[in-house]
Chains A and B, each alone.
Chain A
Amino acid sequence: MGITINSIGLCENKNKSVKTSLELCRRAAEPCIKKSAYSKEDIGLVVSVSVYRDDYFCEPSFSSFVQNDLKINHDKTDSLGPKTLSLDVLNGAMGFLNACQLCSAMITAGKVKTGLVVSSDLVNGSISEKGCPPGFLPSGAAMLLAGEKNGGSGFKTFYFKTFAEMQDACESYAFHDKDHMTMIFKRNPDVEDIYLRAISMGVSEFLKKEAVGLDDFDMIIPSQVSSGFITKMAGILGVKREKMIDVTREGGNLFNASLPVAMDHVFKCNKPEPGQKALIIHVASGIQVGCVVYEF
């Protein structure tokens, strides 16, 4: 069974009118569900991957608020009939890829029919910021994943690699600074070069393990850090720049929204043929590299 992207919803928040991560989520998830072939009752799993969200609460899961807000099997009074499990996957900008694999596992194992992954990272005004700017563009994104019984399309291989020795290059934490909480974003000035070094090693290992080459892929979907970063990445990988999907925005790194924004663009603009393959290459704090194959 192939696990495919059934629908995508986005809320780009261009004029920054949306002030909360929950609202960003709703504005992305509602059209996503509406466009999909499924009803809310069919959604057995809601996964939020937002690391930075309203009031930075750590309990309960942010996804339970999303499930309630979207009224997805939220008012059960017993364990019978359709029901939904909500949980958060937190892993910097790798969260969305991790959540796609998690949904694939849950659908393949027969635990759920569909999974909704949402992302809406937003630095909340209730905590002041210090250090580097967060560097990401607050965007809402939602993706509904489902199983295609007869299809060979969808997510194929997931590969993740962690380079713990590079970990100090990227860190964020909150702490009590005099009389209020302050969020610190620490980035090594050479963090993009460190990311690229990790990508080079991670991708080489992935290609070797899978016995494939970059020529086997019709397009590469990178982390949407910046246009310059994608150009450097194409150089390091030795692929033509036009093979890289670039949907970067002026306002900063798309962070966890990289995959849904890029995939939405690919479906609308590239109109991929059945059988075409994309190699998704993401990089995140840790330092982690994720390589995922998606067949259209």
Chain B
Amino acid sequence: MGLNTVIESLGVYTPEGRLSTKELVDGCKVKPVFDLEELTGIKTRPMVADNEYALDLAREAATRCFEISKYQPEDIDLVICTNISRYNGPNWKASFEPSTAALLARDFDFSNAIIFDEPNACAGMFTALYIVDAYLKAGFVKRAMVISGEALTCLARTAQKEMSAPFDPQMACLTVGDAGAAFILEQTDNPDVGFHDMDAFTVAQHCDYCIASFSKEPHGGFVMYTDSIKIHQIAIGMTAEHVGRMVKGTKWENSDNHHYIMHQTGTRAIKTTRKSINDWVGTEVCSEKNSIVNVVERGNSASTAHFVALWDHIRNGAIKSKENILFAVQSSGINLGVALYTLDDLPARVMNWSRMEQREAIKEAV
């Protein structure tokens, strides 16, 4: 029961297409009252091709994850897919059955694994991690994989058509980006690495602050209505207390000691959360220097956001092996989560994979 859960492998896939905030806003029938790029810091985000869907993003991320892992699909005992997006085909096709996990069992040999979907808004991958930690500690499984493919820019396209007010509940749809992420978890007997502590809970009385479903308009598509002010007020305020209580009086109070990866909704939201955490603790535990900001080029990629940020910052050299990370999670629901993590040599292995991939790309080009 005492062993730490560790991220054995990580894989992220972002589609090649790009969609700038300027282009998005220019295409809106009714433009936001704010300068969206200034407010959110988001300049551009990855965007799926016309024939690329949520399942494709999940599959690509899982493939990369296996390329870095020492395991094969048949070694995985539990597979949890957490994508909010079920956008899997033309004409806004949204899959209900089989589950995403079952659909992926066609591409990967998960025939003997426990498989299911656990979508939980932007907290999906984190709550899956929390669940997997329980399966591992209970001895039910030896290793598990969490996968998500978020094809979300379709929300932005619907919002462009439907937004009817300068401060519209669909405005948050203009912040999203597309990405796939996957990771494998197992236990380690090294107490110095892995997850040292984690917690997650839902403040359900605010469950209607952000709702995503189908558009009822004749043009179709997917929609998301968000009360951005209320959800930020609650999520940021409670995150400050949740994070503060976990770090106060511990080694995590030293801001030089670790990186903060928060939910990537916008630069201003990250800054406000940072300030709120520091105000609660009474000292600067979360600084500009130790906060990972990944939203500028990625947008909000929902359930994958924390792991896309981890991947990008491993690859740009900002996060290295043996370093500490504090994950702070907020999502509609409202779900809140915190986890304290020490990396093993995963960054080194991701970098090796990146170098090999670059070499392959050069070979192909030549």
A contact residues vs B (CB 8 Å cutoff): 46, 51-52, 55-61, 63-65, 67-68, 72-80, 83-92, 94-95, 98, 101-102, 104-106, 108-111, 126-127, 158, 160-164, 167, 170-177, 179-181, 183, 285-286, 288
Residues of chain B contacted by A64 (CB below 8 angstroms): 202, 204, 207, 333-335
- Cβ–Cβ contact A176 & B91, under 8 A: yes
For residue B133, CB closer than 8 A to chain A, the reply is yes
- Cβ–Cβ contact B214 & A89, under 8 A: no
- Cβ–Cβ contact B202 & A85, under 8 A: yes
Q: Among B86, B110, B207, B221, point to the contact of A162 (Cβ < 8 A).
A: B110
- Cβ–Cβ contact B211 & A60, under 8 A: yes
Residues of chain A contacted by B120 (CB below 8 angstroms): 60-61, 86-88
Interface locus among B12-20, B31-39, B93-101, B160-168: B93-101
- Cβ–Cβ contact A174 & B111, under 8 A: no
B 94-114 binary contact with A (CB < 8 Å = 1; else 0): 111111011101100011111
Given contacts A104-B138, A160-B114, A164-B105, contact A59 B98 (CB under 8 A): no
Q: Among B93, B200, B242, B332, point to the contact of A173 (Cβ < 8 A).
A: B93
Residues of chain B contacted by A59 (CB below 8 angstroms): 84, 119, 121, 210-212, 224, 332
- Cβ–Cβ contact B213 & A162, under 8 A: no
- Cβ–Cβ contact A89 & B118, under 8 A: yes
Q: List 24 A-B contacts (CB under 8 A).
A: A46-B202, A51-B96, A58-B86, A58-B119, A59-B121, A60-B333, A63-B202, A65-B207, A76-B201, A79-B245, A80-B245, A85-B202, A85-B335, A91-B115, A102-B131, A109-B138, A111-B134, A160-B113, A167-B106, A171-B97, A174-B94, A175-B91, A181-B220, A286-B99
- Cβ–Cβ contact A181 & B137, under 8 A: no
Residues of chain A contacted by B201 (CB below 8 angstroms): 73, 76, 79, 83-85
- Cβ–Cβ contact B119 & A105, under 8 A: no
- Cβ–Cβ contact B333 & A79, under 8 A: no
Name the residue of chain A whose CB is nearest to the CB of B134: A109
**How far does the alpha carbon of A183 sit from the alpha carbon of B96 in the complex, in Å?**
9
Q: Among A105, A158, A181, A285, point to the contact of B92 (Cβ < 8 A).
A: A181
- Cβ–Cβ contact A173 & B94, under 8 A: yes
Given contacts A64-B202, A78-B238, contact A286 B102 (CB under 8 A): yes
Question: Which B residues between 185 and 222 are near A, CB-CB below 8 angstroms?
Answer: 199-205, 207-208, 210-214, 216, 218, 220-222
**How far does the alpha carbon of A183 sit from the alpha carbon of B139 in the complex, in Å?**
40
Name the residue of chain A whose CB is nearest to the CB of B111: A162
**How far does the alpha carbon of A149 sit from the alpha carbon of B92 in the complex, in Å?**
49
For residue B89, CB closer than 8 A to chain A, the reply is yes
- Cβ–Cβ contact B205 & A68, under 8 A: yes
**How far does the alpha carbon of A84 sit from the alpha carbon of B127 in the complex, in Å?**
12
Name the residue of chain A whose CB is nearest to the CB of B211: A57
- Cβ–Cβ contact A94 & B116, under 8 A: yes
Name the residue of chain B whose CB is nearest to the CB of A74: B204
**How far does the alpha carbon of A96 sit from the alpha carbon of B116 in the complex, in Å?**
11
- Cβ–Cβ contact A162 & B241, under 8 A: no
Interface of A is mostly: mixed
- Cβ–Cβ contact A89 & B96, under 8 A: no
Name the residue of chain B whose CB is nearest to the CB of A209: B112
**How far does the alpha carbon of A65 sit from the alpha carbon of B99 in the complex, in Å?**
22
For residue B344, CB closer than 8 A to chain A, the reply is no
Q: Among B106, B116, B130, B216, point to the contact of A85 (Cβ < 8 A).
A: B130
Q: Among B85, B98, B211, B212, point to the contact of A92 (Cβ < 8 A).
A: B98
Given contacts A162-B102, A162-B113, contact A173 B211 (CB under 8 A): no
B339 smallest CB distance to A (angstroms): 13
Name the residue of chain A whose CB is nearest to the CB of B220: A176
B contact residues vs A (CB 8 Å cutoff): 1, 84-86, 88-89, 91-99, 101-103, 105-106, 110-121, 127, 130-131, 133-135, 137-140, 199-205, 207-208, 210-214, 216, 218, 220-222, 224, 238, 241-242, 245, 331-336
Q: Among A46, A68, A85, A176, point to the contact of B127 (Cβ < 8 A).
A: A85
- Cβ–Cβ contact B213 & A55, under 8 A: yes
Residues of chain A contacted by B99 (CB below 8 angstroms): 90-92, 285-286
- Cβ–Cβ contact A285 & B97, under 8 A: yes
**How far does the alpha carbon of A48 sit from the alpha carbon of B120 in the complex, in Å?**
11
Given contacts A58-B212, A60-B121, A102-B131, contact A78 B241 (CB under 8 A): yes
Q: Among B117, B212, B218, B332, point to the contact of A90 (Cβ < 8 A).
A: B117
Name the residue of chain B whose CB is nearest to the CB of A90: B117
- Cβ–Cβ contact B119 & A61, under 8 A: yes
**How far does the alpha carbon of A286 sit from the alpha carbon of B111 in the complex, in Å?**
10
Please indicate which of the listed interface residues B91, B133, B208 has the most CB atoms of chain A within 10 Å of its own CB.
Answer: B91
**How far does the alpha carbon of A171 sit from the alpha carbon of B333 in the complex, in Å?**
28
Residues of chain A contacted by B238 (CB below 8 angstroms): 76-79
Residues of chain B contacted by A75 (CB below 8 angstroms): 203, 205
Q: Among B102, B332, B334, point to the contact of A164 (Cβ < 8 A).
A: B102
- Cβ–Cβ contact B221 & A176, under 8 A: yes
Name the residue of chain A whose CB is nearest to the CB of B100: A90
B30 smallest CB distance to A (angstroms): 22
Residues of chain A contacted by B85 (CB below 8 angstroms): 58
Name the residue of chain B whose CB is nearest to the CB of A82: B201
- Cβ–Cβ contact B241 & A105, under 8 A: no
- Cβ–Cβ contact B220 & A101, under 8 A: no
Given contacts A51-B97, A90-B119, A92-B99, contact A177 B91 (CB under 8 A): yes
**How far does the alpha carbon of A174 sit from the alpha carbon of B96 in the complex, in Å?**
8
Residues of chain A contacted by B93 (CB below 8 angstroms): 173-175
Name the residue of chain B whose CB is nearest to the CB of A102: B131
Name the residue of chain B whose CB is nearest to the CB of A65: B207
Residues of chain A contacted by B119 (CB below 8 angstroms): 58-59, 61, 88, 90
- Cβ–Cβ contact A167 & B103, under 8 A: yes
Given contacts A56-B214, A173-B89, A173-B95, list 10 more A-B pairs with CB under 8 A. Answer: A64-B334, A78-B238, A83-B201, A84-B202, A86-B202, A94-B116, A162-B112, A170-B97, A173-B94, A173-B96
Residues of chain A contacted by B95 (CB below 8 angstroms): 171-173
Please indicate which of the listed interface residues A61, A74, A161, A288 has the most CB atoms of chain B within 10 Å of its own CB.
Answer: A61
